[in-house]
Amino acid sequence: MKTHYAQEVDTLKTEVVNIVKPYTPSISDAIKIKETSLLIDATNTTKREVTYSIFSVPVASTFNPAKGKATNLENIIPMPFYDNYAFFGIGNYTNMIAEISSNFKTGNSENLSFFFTHRSSQGGIKNIYLDDQFSTSHLELNYTSNQKEVNYALNAKFKHQLYNWYGLNNLFDFASPELINSIDSRQIYYNGKVGGVLQMDDSYLEKVAASFGFTTDRYSSSEFNFKAYPEFSLNTLDIPVKIDMDINFLNGKFSKNYSNAMGIDYGFFNVGVLPSYDFNYEQLFISVGLAGYFSSDIKNSKSTFYAYPKIKGFYRFANEQFAVYAGLDGGLKQNSYDSFKEDNPYLSPTLSIKPTSELYNGFAGLKGELTHSVNFNVKVSYAKEDDKPLLILNDYKGQAIGLEAYEYGNSFAVVYDNLRTVSFFGELTFNLSDIFNIELNSTFYSYDMSKELKAWNLPKFETTIIADITFNENIYGSVSLFYVGKRSDLINSSINPLNPEILTLDSYFDLNLQLGYRCNKKLTISIKGANLLGNNYQKWANYKVQGAQGMLGASYKFDW
């Protein structure tokens, strides 16, 4: 099953290049620009999340030209900028994407925008017995205001998602047609969120972001989540001290649990205070801090205090061509139904919800430029997490007519374990020219569990290769290859609970290709192929994905 994502609308007055991945600053960006601190990039170096997108909305080209001696600049007429765009694409499996984005300037410093996207498929995966169609619709409204000393933004989001629990195991090869026809495998999620950001100059309260969201589904589950992140600073007193806060209130319920008809109620209130002190000396930067969290399990009348290290730093050397970095981090993460279903939409609405405590995450690495066009980054880390969530198959309850649609061993549960993880990360970026770019990254993982037999559904190896090329001013293309190593799951049965079986999910490759042609300044036609190796691999146990996919689409930029 593919989930499709799209880039945000272009906002820069430059030539546009369709790419598969969103632009993230490269290593060379951080090291060449001396005025920009390496701290954020140097310490936040986990492999970026890769999404399998059928189409990308044009975004501004940000490739870095190779260094060379000065020469006369060509007088290039910039591409015109448009506030709006629309996109439509259709492919096999009746895959469809429709998008529209629009921006309106409502004043000298105010802007109103909206974005709507719909992605759907009528399915058609072979050798499955239930519907495999899916759809996602997302509407977002934004308002921003940039005043002299105060900036603020308001936003509202709504999302509708439809999935099917079509992942029946091979025991259903002999199931009766009456049973198959009786299973209504649909699950529908509804999600909404309103929020805002306030930023002030020359104030102790530098910034505050807050949001309130709700999630519900077809089975009367409900969840409400309030988050707030105030940021205080003493820079106005020339003291390099920051005090951040993390406030999270979560309350939810499920109408029943997996073993009986009793409902599940949960509620947590977490407050974190995160002071830090920054130290700069020539090429050395160090940030020393800590995080203290008070967490209240409301339903069980239980309170806990947590303390975590917040130390990180880097040192630039060799004329700032290289940087060594290290840190010791930690924190409290509040898990939620909303976040879990974004990771795996085939969960049963019968989950156990609680926070994860990352006691520490120590890391060290080296990054820099091997040549003007080749950058690298390597990192090793060791982390310890209490109550780490792992997704695992629910028990198979047999083939009786009248069970819930998710009770046939075709849905997933959440189990928690104390996990130690060692990881090795490596990345190479080749900026061979301003029209050709290649990125390669890989991560190895080693897990040590306290209770579970395996780190369920966590791979031991992942790698990504992405190449972007611009053939001329009208034609561009990209290639991406994703590899995910073997994973483990557990097959258990309520009928025979004494004989669980470990299931090994095969590793898989996913090859994607895109070719685009700019017909004129407004219209672009694109062809995209996804999973071109044609493997119906299983991202989750018993859930085959669509085979080779093709899509033809067109985007149009315009002004009202």
> What per-residue confidence (pLDDT) applies to 78?
59
Task: Render pLDDT for 503-536 as a digit per residue (tens, 0 to 9).
Answer: 999 999 999 999 999 999 999 999 999 999 999 9
At residue 315 the predicted structure's pLDDT band, cuts being 50, 70 and 90, is very high
Residue type (1 letter), 311: I
Q: Which segment of 36-40, 148-152, 236-240, 286-290 scores lowest on mean pLDDT?
A: 36-40
DSSP letter string over 96-155? EEEEEEEEEE-SSSEEEEEEEEEEEE----TT-SS---EEEEEEEEEEEEE-SSEEEEEE
End-to-end Cα, the chain, rounded Å: 36
Domains in the chain: boundaries: 16-67+74-558
Q: Look up the CATH number of domain 16-67+74-558.
A: 2.40.170.20
Task: Give 446-501 pLDDT, tens digit per residue.
Answer: 999 999 999 999 999 999 999 999 999 999 999 999 999 999 999 998 777 768 89
Which range among 30-44, 283-297, 531-545 shows the weakest confidence by mean pLDDT? Answer: 30-44
Q: Which of 55, 47, 59 is nearest to 20 (CA)?
A: 55
Question: 69-85, pLDDT tens digit by residue?
Answer: 334 444 445 567 789 99
In this structure, of 49-58, 184-193, 329-338, 527-536, the range with the lowest mean pLDDT score is: 49-58
Q: Which residue spans within 318-460 are E strands per DSSP?
A: 322-333, 356-369, 374-393, 412-433, 436-449
How confident is the model over 91-104, as a mean pLDDT? 96
Q: Are 375 and 323 in contact (CB under 8 A)?
A: no
Q: What local confidence, expressed as pLDDT, does residue 127 receive? A: 92
- Average pLDDT over all residues of the chain: 87
Residue 31: band (very low, low, confident or very high) from pLDDT cuts 50, 70, 90: very low
Q: What is the CA radius of gyration of the chain?
A: 25
Task: Kindly report the pTM of this predicted structure.
Answer: 0.84
pLDDT digits (tens, 9 = 90+) for 263-295: 999 999 999 999 999 999 999 999 999 999 999
**What pLDDT was estimated at residue 493?**
85
Pairwise CA distance, residues 226 & 238, whole Å: 33
Residue 170 three-state SS: helix
Please list, residue by residue across 84-117, b when 16 or more beta carbons sit within 10 angstroms of its beta carbon and e when fewer do.
bbebbbebebebbbbbbbbbeeeeeeebbbbbbb
